[in-house]
Structure 1
């Protein structure tokens, strides 16, 4: 039965390429990229192991622990990403829970992430080329560690599914887990700036990490190579105990998911019209009210709003601290935050029809004009986007005290918001792609659409950059010269150009939408 589950996963994996050639291209590119990075890391560890065995072993322990920890955290963002092997799909089959658990775990190695994890953990063994016994133990530990990574990933997804029985709990947890990822870049930059100091403390950190469940299997060879047999025994006990406990927990949650699948509690009854009643009683007002409700209550929209405060903290406080040796403390980098937030928020409605899913049929059946649909969504975006863009503009200026750049910041930020909203109104009426369905995790990536989504979004971002170029050019001139005249020119050009492009986007996007209404309806049904 385990072999049949593995063969089923292989058939699903290969059939996905036959369904979408772009998925095959994306998988090949991703596999080549991952292989190149892994091989380079292995070669680096081998070279370091020949010159500094203790440092190489420390890096190997920490790297393997980071990979296992990543498997425990990251899959929570993409809960349900691969529903083809969901345990609940096997509820009607008389498969023992332990057999099903083992089969699903081994099937997890079929695919780029699983194979890359196994290969990377095995290549960390190159740090022990000078110690053959430690090398063999490291390979064995890598194999068991990769299996443990799959196990904790499945266990984490099962626990997240149980927590999601209450509406919004999963999304809040996902956003909280996203915070360390958002600050990973600055943390890596800080490590790079203090490489020598960090290198000196890596052995001490590895000495503690090898006693944790995440670093236990990677630390066995490290302890053996150093002749620390007591640490070897303790690490082995921790690893085996963690493996047994995680296996028991996963089997328990799997059996529970098959017998009593979790149910999402329905939302409380809504009194009144909500945001719909706060807009004019017109077609575009109804669309604006519904879209505003989406922005505030749909986790797929709210996730992008929660990221804005993190970016403000990152650009205004974290990045300047990493460039404290520059003339202005690296703070001038934060002045691009306004245009960046404006462009990203405007871009976010490029998939609004796809996010509607089957609810888009209400627009089709009600006969809403394309212009009313486009205008309503843009107005809803402005209700949310203008305050957030102003936040991204005013906070850096308030911290720096350089209010001379206020007109330029307003022109660049609001101009980028309006421009990107107009272009996104056209793009969403012409192109659709699969997005997380209502109720899914906002970080889920539907299979088979990665390359098409990447190409569409890249083309739209390029178009936004091109149309924002005049405003950004004047804004850069105001920052470089410090002349208030360029700042006021940026304000005028940004607002005028942004309003014109937003109006054209609503008009052109509305026409395209009316012409392609049947195709759009068919597309959102296929993308389910």
Structure 2
């Protein structure tokens, strides 16, 4: 079968030159562009031979990691059809395992794959010229190429699974993911100072990239020269193994799973409900997303949060607090306010709450579904606020600590909000009313205070570790990251399930509240 698939791949590659004139021109232009890019990369690699080892490692790691990520992103969102889609082989009785192996091997016979191999050879030659062992450079190139090809095949498989359901909502999700990834990188690179050689922040960043699946394979030659190749080697091999297992599983699923006739047609046009799935939590998440981005009561809250957080630094600057400390406040305050926002989310439903109660929706599904929109908003805002805050502060070593503190405040706030919104809801403006028109009420202050101060109290360990990183030893920043994220995750899970239990037991009281406000 492998030989047959390889011949088929060669026929498809040659057949691209037998199409109509316009298609041939587009193909040749694309090949020329790829050739120019590969040539530029090879020239850049040759010029790096005269640079310092730190500079060469930083440039190659950033470029190679971006290339690896680009293979996956392009395959996932590029709208390209896989000519060797595994589902096309199911009609000839081919086994999923044989199909997965043959199509992966055949994918190396393509213009992008050949260009990738040339780039890998150029990078290997660069480090071989600097003294790295030839076999290490070869292993690095092989692992790097396999990682890119597996990511591309997985991206194409995932894209084929959702192609029938693509919509502007799915495009919005991809844009959000792009913002979350690209903005921190752009802010980081823009803040670097290159006057004294390779910035220490960039050195720390590429050291971290060398321990990720994106860069581990490409870091092997340089790490072999410095005597620290064990960790990148293990990560690179494990990454290839995990990606290969995922690819074989996806092929098996594509070839053995058949969608019900008419199911795709039934789901089209449902917008967010199509994207979030048919579960109870997914349906509630879709409805909550629609509310959050259309109801002015939610929109006003989202606009006010970053403005209020930014304004807090003004009085501190006026009283003489050092600016390098003041600029660290907005991001944690944004995280705290975002976690606090849904503390009364159930009250905004008004009488629409009856759908959840009458449908016997489990409380945990209600709690989790309602947190989806604020989680998306929070991820985007914090992805911008955290790197901007650190760039203004000037010490990128504090990035893990800032991320840990923000994660703790945000997730702990969401967990407490999931609990207080069912225990002590209070009246808010009704749907259609002005968001600045608030009804008279006698309660509400308690739940607001519990969420606000409770999130801060739960985040005290993360805040303390961040302070140690700021004033004593920067190594505490990683403790703040993992500790803060862990504390926030535990608080979130407890809040969802505890709030869900209260929702299940007090449905009548909640419905009475919705009818009376």
Q: Which has the higher contact order (CA 8 A, sep 6+)?
A: 1
TM-score grouping bracket, smaller chain normalisation = 0.3 to 0.5
Using the size of structure 2 for normalisation, the TM-score is 0.46
Using the size of structure 1 for normalisation, the TM-score is 0.45
